[in-house]
Amino acid sequence: MDKIKLAFFDAKDYDKNSFIKSNINEEFEINYYDTRLTEETVRLAEGYDVVCVFVNDDINRKVIDSLTKMNVKLVALRCAGYNNVDIEYAYEKIHVVRVPAYSPYAVAEHAMALLLTSIRRIHKAYIRTKDFNFSLSGLTGFDLHGKTVGVVGTGKIGRIFIDICRGFGMHVIAYDKFPAEGSGIEYVSLDELWERSDIISFHCPLTDENRHMVNEDSIAKMKKGVVLINTSRGALIDAEALVEGIKQRKVGAACLDVYEEESNVFFHDYSNHIVDDDTLARLISMPNVIVTSHQAFLTEEALTNIADTTLDNVKEFFAQEYSKNEICYKCPDVANCMQEHGKKCF
């Protein structure tokens, strides 16, 4: 049997290393491209069976049409989120698979790491002591014990984050469009979550419905000094509204691993360049904002799971009549579809 050919976009060294280890028997022919998959770069997929993409690749209508014309059979997402894919337009044109869970612990733990770093001023202390400045002035934080944390999204990552928060003695409330029955989680409305939470952490996929769920109106309902954590998708938060909320002292701190305009910035080294995004520049310059560049997933365990699951998805797709990790807009709940129909989506 001929090897399945994969065009791997937005490839980084850590991606290559994990996929090379997973493809140790060389069942697949994989070519790695540093560039993202866009309308301008889609021609690189000519002659391949599969395109393997990540969160900032743009699989829009024009890209889907081009892939279809080139007879590419499959879009293999090496991530859980799929808001960068026009799922509805892809239906009956090209199949899409994803990695539904690579390491929920990695993301949940990173969210807590950001929170602790922020409220205990660890990042500032680290910089000071590098200069042999051992003053404690300006480093006062606050206890997590007894605080109320609002968790938006109670899938695997959200529930693990809840467990971590409970370990700190925090009171947890949550919002989810599809509550986890029998979980013992106290579910509330979004408005109540905004109003009661000292800390709010986002662990939900991005949809048209929740885009900019954090905006001028919702920030106005929050407690003064609220801490926001986002390790999910950047566009859940209106960045301009966040800046204003911080300037008005309404938002006490922001811990961001994602940013709505990150696609042309994150995963690249711009240390010797001027970044044109004024909103991002303002956020980074604020002393109560921590930004990491979509790093939450980045553990050895997660990278191994991503590589193994992605290649298993590809193998399953070409060998069987269905793929358990296929997604399409026809499924009743695309985020939780268990492929009960037992076949490919079309």
Q: Looking at the annotation, which residues are catalytic? A: 233, 262, 294
Q: Which residues pair with 152 in a beta bridge?
A: 175, 202
Question: Rounded to an integer, what distance in angstroms lies between the CA atom of residue 233 and that of residue 84?
Answer: 11
Note whether 201 and 182 are within 8 A (CB).
Answer: no
Query: What SS3 class is residue 75?
Result: strand
DSSP symbols for 196-229: H-SEEEE-----TTTTT-BSHHHHHHSPTTEEEE
For 280, half-sphere exposure in the C-beta direction (CA atoms, 13 angstrom radius) is: 20
Q: For the chain, how far is it from start to end, CA to CA, in angstroms?
A: 25
The identity of residue 327, as a single letter, is: I
Buried b (16+ CB within 10 A) or exposed e, 247-257: eeebbbbbbbb
Chain mean position to CA 299:
14
Question: Rounded to an integer, what distance in angstroms lies between the CA atom of residue 283 and that of residue 307?
Answer: 33
